[in-house]
Amino acid sequence: MPRNARDHYRPILHLRHFTDDVGLLWTYDRSGRVAPFQQSAPNIGFEKGLYTVVEPPDEDAAAFENWLNEEIDGPAASALEAAATEPKLAPKVRSALSVFIAAQDLRTPRAKKRVLSLYRAGLDGTWTGWRSKPDELAAAIARDHGVRHDPAAILEMLDQYQFDVTTNAWLDFIQSMINKVGERIHRMRWLRVYSAEGVDFVTSDVGIVKCDGRADAFTSWDMGFTRGRSVWVFAKARGVAGNNTRGCTRSQRSWQGGVDTKGQQGHVE
């Protein structure tokens, strides 16, 4: 049976830091076609079955979601509370936040689309190469496995099969990269930034706003620190906020920032 759970790529435990007295956030549509409206944190920033494991070996299709809850979001709950109230972050808090922010960059539908497209492009190139040079593939198989195949037979076999990149490739990518990204974030020099009176910060459904080398040079989202994205801004304290699967999050007052170890200014939510 297909898994139909609400998988929150914008964790509820984080969004609740921006709700009003009755537990609602302001939600905005990036396209501008939908008027701003208020919604509760559990009803935004999710996609049904987003983290479903395809054909799980242990028959637990929710294994990745459980891992996120236990290893990433769970430890971050108290860390987010501390970051919102305490002027100085303890090492344990900083570590939990670093991994949480790294996960936020990797766990969204945008990241899924980006990773799977890269995998598909790579496999398509490999498949095309095999078809264009079946004699080289036959030689490689003979060298590695001691079995000789006729190049014509290899072409016939390639015509009978096709590859598919499933969600599992993205989920594996997250688990393989999260500590590497978290370690780099942890090494950055962090800054706490407050908005001016009457001014709001606006962030996206990703939850991280990135800049090119300086805090006022906002740029489009892409994973990691590619093409100068050394400045990350991440909202962390109570204020006015909103988010939906297509919209943006509007948050006010307090943000966490950092400076890259190379000396470039950077911000981390």
The verdict on residue 58 lying in a domain is: yes
Q: Is residue 162 part of a domain?
A: no
Please check whether residue 163 lies inside any domain of the structure: no
Residue 9: per-residue pLDDT:
94
Residue 161 lies in a domain: no
Contacts of 212 (CB under 8 A, 6+ apart): 218, 219, 227, 228, 229, 230, 231
**Among candidates 257, 159, 250, which has minimal Cα distance to 200?**
250
- Residue 162: per-residue pLDDT: 80
pLDDT of residue 108: 95
- pLDDT confidence of residue 246: 29
pLDDT at 240: 29
Which domain does 201 fall in, by range? 6-109+186-266
What pLDDT, on the 0 to 100 scale, is given for residue 199? 66
Number of domain units in the chain: 1
Q: Are 53 and 61 in contact (CB under 8 A)?
A: yes
Is residue 125 domain-resident? no
pLDDT beneath 50: ranges in the chain: 238-269
pLDDT at 65: 95
Evaluate whether residue 180 is within a structural domain: no
pLDDT tens for residues 165-193?
999 999 999 999 999 999 999 998 888 77
- The pLDDT, as a whole number, for residue 202 is 59
| Token output for 153 | 């037979």
Report yes or no on 55 lying in a domain: yes
Q: At what angle do helices 109-132 and 167-187 cross, to 10 degrees?
A: 120
130 within a domain of the structure (yes/no):
no
Task: Spell out the residues 6+ positions from residue 236 whose beta carbon is closer than 8 angstroms to its own.
Answer: 17, 80, 83, 84, 254, 255, 256, 269
